[in-house]
Structure 1
Amino acid sequence: MALPGPPPEIWSDIFRLACTDGGETGRSLSLVSQACSECSRTFKLRSIALTGIRQLSRFVDMLQSIDPYDRTTENLFVSN
């Protein structure tokens, strides 16, 4: 299923540029539609902010459950 409008390559550029916050945009994009979720999945984890051991532990569990191709993280912020 493809997104309407521009070709997937353009959508990928848009998602790559949009997913620079702590992960909120990536999560939001995955909820828009199945097509949007599929097209944005490689960017969903691009920038991640984790606060505390609980979030870190849940993040590790989530990483272990997804396709390695979708584990691309460029910016990772971890704090107590």
Structure 2
Amino acid sequence: MANLLVRGLDDALVQSLRELAASHGRSVEAEHREILAQALFQPKKLSFTELLISMPDVGEDADFERLHDATDESEGPGVLD
């Protein structure tokens, strides 16, 4: 297993890492490993555009028509009526 030495860290950053590690019941090294693993091995989050593109093309446009609401001038029942 490899070792990693990180130099030149701000004292406040190290203190925050110590506090976070203590709150999770871990050593500073274990907390550092967990942060790195979460940052590097989590699935990539899609941008809003990528998410929209990935949605399947199902249904008809009429399925998604907006119902009348209180701002409509149609005098019809509101969405929550």
Give yes or no for TM over 0.5: no
Structure number having the greater helix percentage: 1
TM-score (norm 1): 0.22
Structure of greater relative contact order (alpha carbons < 8 Å, 6+ residues apart): 1
